[in-house]
């Protein structure tokens, strides 16, 4: 007896995913048009020279043949004959007049040089890896709107790019050194990287700072970061600026005085986490809110604990449950207030550092 396959409901429609697909499709079309426009810009002068020569050579041919009493076709036919001569496929017999003969000799030779020049201009962009990457980055950047510019591809900048990529953001990066460690890995992910000094206005214009929604300034030079942040605000007053500074006291003063959105110090951000991980097991992250250090930590529910809902546990303790992994499960999943928490489950909780020991005690079921 045949058994029907279980019915599977179609996946729920995600309007944001559909919008991203449409945006990628439009961007792909704009990218192809951008490549075509680039090629035309490269060979545009050559094409203009060809067109001007064809008109001039056709006029000279007609004038010289008319002097010799030859019957002339219309100008369009002469123009086409000159074009075929330029491409080494003459349609008319070799003329008897000296000037027309000169045109017949000169035109194919000129065609060789013009074609070689066009191939050289386009070929330099297509076959040289460095030039090809630069051209691709420029064309790709021109298609972006509301993207995020990351200045500096050191360890911090690289990780910022990775996190922004996971969030589905469009990114353009700037790095001063072409041989920096993270330039090639980021380029391989399809993210345009521009090589140069971000303190130069022309480079900020090239990366579309006027169209960007945010800029993350993460170089290892405080003065350079400050200058780039000021320039970005000057060129786009609505842009969100996040600036790295090693001197956090100066960062707060500068950020407020210059109306920058956020400033951060990697050492200040890392210090609470390092201190908590040195003293407490299972801490995943730590951050400071004013004078209070908060942590996200992994806690295992005790075998003797009673089954409770997320809401009941949070109501009794000074913590919030962020995610849950069932006993024997492979990954964490978000939770809702009504979800059951059972003995052996592993929780990720958010609480203050001082409340973490009591949260662990409560959840252990002791």
Q: pLDDT digit string (tens) for 125-157?
A: 666 666 667 777 887 888 888 999 999 999 999
Mean pLDDT score of the chain: 82
pLDDT digits (tens, 9 = 90+) for 322-339: 999 988 888 899 999 999
Closest CA to 107 of 72, 64, 63, 60: 60
CB neighbour burial string for 34-73, b if at least 16 within 10 angstroms, e if fewer: beeebbeebbeebeeebeebbeebbeebbebbeeeeeeee
Top-confidence range, 37-41, 193-197, 225-229, 265-269: 193-197
The mean pLDDT value for 107-134 works out to: 71
Listed as own residue / partner, the contacts of 238-241 with beta carbons closer than 8 Å and 24 or more positions apart are 239/209, 239/212, 239/213, 239/214, 239/215, 240/213, 240/214, 240/215, 241/214, 241/215, 241/217
Domains (ranges, CATH) in the chain? 22-127 (1.10.287), 144-264 (3.40.50.720), 269-364 (3.30.70.1450)
Query: For position 5, what pLDDT does the model report?
Result: 47
Query: For position 41, what pLDDT does the model report?
Result: 66
pLDDT digits (tens, 9 = 90+) for 30-45: 666 666 666 666 667 7
Beta-carbon contacts of 287 under 8 Å, excluding residues fewer than 6 positions away, are: 269, 272, 273, 293, 294, 295
**Confidence class of residue 232 from pLDDT cuts 50, 70 and 90?**
very high
Is the CB of residue 97 less than 8 Å from the CB of residue 68? yes
Model pTM score: 0.62
pLDDT digits (tens, 9 = 90+) for 50-69: 788 888 888 888 888 888 77
Please report, rounded to a whole number, the percentage of residues in the chain having pLDDT higher than 70.
79
Lowest model confidence (mean pLDDT) among 84-98, 201-215, 229-243: 84-98
């Amino acid at each position: 007896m045949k058994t029907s396959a279980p019915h599977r409901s179609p996946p729920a429609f995600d309007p944001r995913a559909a919008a991203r697909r449409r945006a990628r499709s439009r961007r792909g079309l704009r990218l192809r048009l951008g490549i075509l426009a680039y090629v035309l810009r490269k060979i545009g002068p050559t094409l203009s020279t060809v067109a001007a020569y064809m008109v001039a050579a056709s006029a000279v041919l007609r004038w010289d043949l008319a002097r010799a009493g030859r019957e002339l076709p219309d100008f369009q036919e002469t123009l086409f004959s000159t074009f075929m001569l330029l491409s080494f496929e003459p349609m008319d017999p070799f003329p008897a007049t000296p000037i027309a003969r000169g045109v017949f000799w000169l035109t194919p030779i000129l065609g060789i040089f013009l074609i070689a020049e066009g191939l050289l201009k386009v070929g330099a962009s297509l076959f040289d890896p460095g030039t090809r990457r630069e051209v691709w980055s420029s064309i790709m950047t021109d298609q972006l709107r509301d993207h995020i510019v990351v200045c500096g591809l050191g360890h911090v900048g690289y990780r910022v790019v990775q996190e922004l990529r996971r969030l589905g953001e469009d990114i353009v990066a700037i790095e001063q050194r072409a041989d920096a460690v993270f330039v090639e890995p980021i380029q391989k992910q399809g993210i345009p990287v521009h090589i140069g000094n971000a303190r130069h206005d022309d480079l900020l214009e090239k990366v579309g700072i006027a169209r960007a929604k945010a800029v993350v300034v993460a170089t290892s030079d405080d003065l350079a970061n400050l200058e780039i942040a000021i320039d970005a605000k000057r060129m786009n007053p609505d842009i969100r600026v996040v600036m790295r500074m090693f001197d956090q006291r100066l960062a707060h003063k500068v950020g407020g005085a210059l109306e920058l959105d956020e400033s951060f110090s990697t050492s200040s951000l890392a210090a609470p986490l390092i201190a908590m991980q040195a003293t407490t097991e299972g801490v995943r992250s730590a951050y400071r809110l004013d004078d209070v250090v908060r942590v996200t930590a992994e806690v295992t529910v005790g075998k003797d604990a009673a089954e409770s809902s997320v809401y009941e546990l949070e109501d009794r303790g000074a913590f919030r449950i962020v995610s849950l992994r069932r006993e024997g499960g492979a990954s964490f999943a978000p939770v809702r207030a009504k979800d059951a928490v059972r003995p052996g489950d592993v929780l990720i909780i958010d609480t203050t550092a001082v409340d973490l020991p009591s949260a662990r005690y409560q959840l252990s079921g002791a």
